[in-house]
Each structure stands twice: as structure tokens, then as C-alpha cells.
Amino acid sequence: MRVVLALGSNLGDRFDTLQGALDCLFDAPGLDFVAVSPVYETEPVGGPEQGPYLNAVVIAQTSIIEPLTLLERALGVENAFGRVRTERWGARTLDVDLITVGDVVSDGPELTLPHPRAHERAFVLVPWSQVDPDAVLSGRRVADLLAGLDQAGVRLRADLTLQRPV
Ligand SMILES: Nc1ncnc2c1ncn2[C@@H]1O[C@H](COP(=O)(O)OP(=O)(O)OP(=O)(O)O)[C@@H](O)[C@H]1O
Ligand SMILES: Nc1nc2c(c(=O)[nH]1)N=C(CO)CN2
């Protein structure tokens, strides 16, 4: 199954955190790296006043059948990078969201797939469409979803390039 993950950071050394998270995600068996998007500097959406984020999207291939196991891996990587949960949508050293896991649709208390807010988030859809121009989310082309969104707060950081995990 193909997996799409979104990474975000707006505290500490944001780029180092994204690269570290990428390496850490693929550090154990079960998840194979496919591609990573460019890095974008993005205005924070929602939550209290906070600094800008760096965001990127990672495409992976997985042999893990259970999406909750993937969520555990994502939350484990967040914790490894010192994430402290305070306010909803508050600043964080690292956020790892599961955007889609194959065609899985789920609405459990712990895991909603596809991610329930991905379709309205330019900070997810812009990097995703760059790394996969034909991407589809809940039956709609990501490129079409983007056409209806304000992308002004999402700026390419051409000076920052994530390396494929070692
Ligand atoms: N698709 C998903 N990806 C990641 N977490 C999810 C998903 N669906 C549900 N969750 C749950 O959401 C919980 C809270 O996530 P988190 O604190 O990262 O939210 P957030 O990043 O602040 O906001 P948002 O959910 O809007 O991205 C996680 O512990 C996880 O159980
Ligand atoms: N620009 C930006 N804004 C956000 C982000 C994020 O990653 N980037 N993550 C959020 C909660 O997941 C809430 N707001």
C-alpha cells in the first residue's frame, strides 16, 4: 500500500527536525521510502499566534497491513523529537500526520483516514502535488482541490532540500 505522510515543524531547528524525522520514520522495517517533496515555509493555520512552519510531504510504500501500527510509528517519531502537547493546533517541534494509507477509510477514535482536514490544507496539498502531480484524495484530484484554496501562505524554500533517508 502507498502511504502519504505530512511533516511539520515550527519550533527549534525546523529543518534538522524534518530531516531527523524522515530518517527516523524509515529506520525500522515495514515502511519503504518512495519520495519526499520540496520544503515549504508556511503561515500557521488555526490555533494561537505562533511562528511559521516548515512543511513537507513524504510518500512511502508499506507492508504493514494495520494502519494503527503506522499511526504508532508516526506518534513515536513525534515523541522522539520532543513534541509536547499543550494547546490544540499549538506550536510544535514536530507533527507527523497520516494523510492517506492506500484506499483505507476509517473513522475511529484514534485514527481518521484520509486525514479529515487534509483537503482544506494548502500546506499539505501544495507539497503533495509537487511530489505526486496525479495525487487523488477521497476521489478528487489534489490539483483540483488546490485550485479552490488560498496558497499565498505557502512558499517554496528552494534553499532547503531533504535528503532521502539513509
Ligand atoms: N490521520 C491521522 N494522522 C495523525 N493523527 C491522527 C489521524 N487521525 C486521528 N489522529 C489522532 O489525532 C491525535 C491528535 O493529533 P495531533 O495532536 O497531531 O493533532 P494536530 O496535529 O494538532 O491537529 P490536526 O489533527 O488538525 O492535524 C493523534 O494522537 C491521533 O490519535
Ligand atoms: N502552516 C501550518 N499550520 C498548521 C500545521 C502545519 O503543519 N503547518 N499543523 C497544524 C496541526 O496539524 C495546524 N496548523
Q: Is 128 in the pocket of ligand 2 (CB under 6 A)?
A: no
Strands 31-36, 140-141: pairing kind: unpaired
Residue 166 resides in a domain: no
Greatest pairwise CA separation for the chain in angstroms: 40
- Predicted confidence at residue 84, as pLDDT, reads 64
Helix (H, G, I), strand (E, B) or coil at 145: helix
- The pLDDT of residue 166 is 83
Distance CA 53, CA 67 (A): 26
- Give the Å distances, CA to CA, from 154 to 44, 73, 157: 10, 27, 10
Q: 40 is written with which cell numbers?
A: 515549504
Q: Are 99 and 4 a contacting pair, CB within 8 Å?
A: yes
Give the pLDDT confidence score for residue 23 in this predicted structure.
95
In this structure, which ligand is nearest to the CA of 56? 2
Residue 161 lies in a domain: no
> 18 vs 1, 48, 74, 77, CA distance in Å?
23, 22, 13, 11
Task: Provide the domain count of the chain.
Answer: 1
Q: Is residue 89 part of a domain?
A: yes
Domain that holds residue 59: 2-156
Cβ atoms of 11 and 53 closer than 8 Å: no
Q: According to the 3-state scheme, what is the secondary structure of 124-138?
A: HHHHHHHHCCCCEEC
Mutate to test the pocket of ligand 1, among 3, 73, 92, 110 (most ligand atoms within 8 A of CB): 110
Note the pLDDT of residue 85: 62
Q: Ligand 2: distance of its center to the CA of 8 in Å?
A: 7
Domain of residue 63, CATH code? 3.30.70.560
Asked, for residue 163, whether it belongs to a domain, the answer is no
pLDDT at 142: 98
Active site residue 92: yes
Instruction: Decide if 149 is inside a domain.
Output: yes
Alpha helices in the chain (DSSP H): 14-25, 67-80, 122-131, 142-147
Pocket test for ligand 2, best of 39, 85, 89, 115 (most atoms within 8 A of CB): 89
For residue 165, being part of any structural domain is answered with no
Q: Which of 2, 83, 141, 157 is catalytic?
A: 83
Q: From 138, 143, 113, select the one nearest 127 (Cα to Cα).
A: 143
Ligand 1 contact, 78 CB (< 6 A): no
Please list the pLDDT of the chain residue by residue as tens digits (166 residues): 999 999 999 999 999 999 999 999 999 899 999 999 999 999 999 988 999 999 999 999 998 889 999 999 999 999 998 766 666 666 778 999 999 999 999 998 899 999 999 999 999 999 999 999 999 999 999 999 999 999 999 999 999 999 999 8
Q: What is the pLDDT of residue 83?
A: 67
